[in-house]
Structure 1
């Protein structure tokens, strides 16, 4: 396998990218990581997909190995859509599959609604395509937490103390159930924290997964999912904060789509059920390439 990496100039700074290629002449897949303000770090295991096609990772501006400008006006979805288009052009990705995870699906959907050419398929992994619906789903998920944990979350949010240790500890209880159910949590995930940019997350989303106060709080593209006509795969974990109910609903609104639930996962099936995730993704992408879908 050859690994090529470098930087692409985009609006606001330079973005780091990495291409894994085993020489298989198939349409490449580009991975849009979660966040906002996370990085490709947790998803790097998906380089195994390069056994069947080139795989491209990049760290969105402001996080990972990309430049970290301090201009807060850069942290809005329209600029990230523009950034993605600039990366495709710079890397000559005339034809491409898109695999977005979590916030990466928000970005993928917003990008698809600009009517780009050359996108052969889209995978929405644990999608967030409606921030209001996401917030409602998390309200219900929180009801499954112990009452004392629910009380801490509510008190801190009301008092504006979401940066307190008590809130972080209560949030960790939510994460164990609905973000990653691996116990113990993989050590390498903790190491990945250094690549995140909490400022971007807070500006665009809010203080936690379930308390949406940022500039994405009104994002909702469900009424336009019918415009995405390429083959589309929706996936989520059975215990995902991107709930099976909402994920299946998004799929029902998308004309040429399939839906798959990973039965033993929360929000990170690509780690929690890695072999099964890779199998499902490969099967879908190969089917599109061979025009079986």
Structure 2
């Protein structure tokens, strides 16, 4: 069964889709990356709906959701409230949460409100500390050709991160640390560019991946991870922006968590190694539902 529609949240309406093949497992709510991206690339997760309902939605301001112009909406507290509104509207009294990248930032912030009914959290390629993420990207940059490093540094210093040379340098970075596939899936290449909202990204993160200037600059919940007591799975790609070292560090701070590395992937293992990704997620969720 497939269903889609809109849900009223603070600031407008968000678009959601629900996949349900009549599985009786606890529903899975997916929080996409960004901020300012969409759930488009996470469509592969609908395969998990054989055992449980799977809900994906585009956060406010991006994808197929409303595009309000009020810049005060782009802060993590409002996005946390949005997750609660989506759960309430879809009657998700008990839920598993899978966050990817910025979606893990949101998942952690939401879980730390001590809300009830979260049966587990999957932190996929996590960003749980903006300062740590920034440090890791600076280290990742050092693995690239010197001219690429210099271009990125120069464009950041000159405020020309919207230039073609910066875009070209970022593409090299992406081939190493975001998606290492030589040939991307055709459906992924068809993602409408208007689904992204650069304004949200700039306000919350900044004009560049490598230096956090937005309102998430000081986000760091590492000291609070011990307060997350539901089962957790931390995963990342071997070549991920969310480095295996930092992802394992987060996992070690979280009681009873498990940790998995996708050996052939960067930041998009759900596409780069989709079969293994789905298998690992399904095993984790099914084991929890059986308890």
Normalization by structure 1: what TM-score? 0.97
Partners of 2:30 and 2:57 within 8 A in 1: yes
Partners of 2:178 and 2:241 within 8 A in 1: yes
| Residue 114 (structure 2) pairs with residue 145 (structure 1) | no
Partners of 2:233 and 2:259 within 8 A in 1: yes
Cα deviation digits, residues 34-77 of structure 1 (max 9, x gap): 00010010001110000111100110000111000011100000
The match for 1:194 is 194
Partners of 2:31 and 2:98 within 8 A in 1: yes
For the residues of structure 2 that align with 1:146 and 1:135, how far apart are their CA atoms?
A: 19
| Residue 234 (structure 2) pairs with residue 234 (structure 1) | yes
For the residues of structure 1 that align with 2:165 and 2:184, how far apart are their CA atoms?
A: 20
Show the 5 A alignment for 1:173-192.
173-192=172-191
The match for 1:158 is 157
| Residue 254 (structure 2) pairs with residue 254 (structure 1) | yes
Cα deviation digits, residues 218-251 of structure 1 (max 9, x gap): 1000000000000000000000000000000000
SS of 1:282's equivalent?
A: helix
Deviation at 1:272, TM superposition (A): 0.2
Partners of 2:130 and 2:220 within 8 A in 1: yes
The number of equivalent residue pairs is 290
Partners of 2:238 and 2:266 within 8 A in 1: yes
Deviation at 1:173, TM superposition (A): 0.5
Partners of 2:111 and 2:228 within 8 A in 1: yes
Unaligned runs of 5+ in 2: none
| Residue 80 (structure 2) pairs with residue 46 (structure 1) | no
Partners of 1:171 and 1:208 within 8 A in 2: no
For the residues of structure 2 that align with 1:52 and 1:230, how far apart are their CA atoms?
A: 20
For the residues of structure 2 that align with 1:209 and 1:241, how far apart are their CA atoms?
A: 10
For the residues of structure 2 that align with 1:26 and 1:178, how far apart are their CA atoms?
A: 34
The match for 1:203 is 203
Normalization by structure 2: what TM-score? 0.98
The match for 1:290 is 290
The match for 1:83 is 82
| Residue 31 (structure 2) pairs with residue 16 (structure 1) | no
Superposition CA RMSD, Å: 0.8
For the residues of structure 2 that align with 1:64 and 1:149, how far apart are their CA atoms?
A: 31
For the residues of structure 2 that align with 1:205 and 1:3, how far apart are their CA atoms?
A: 34
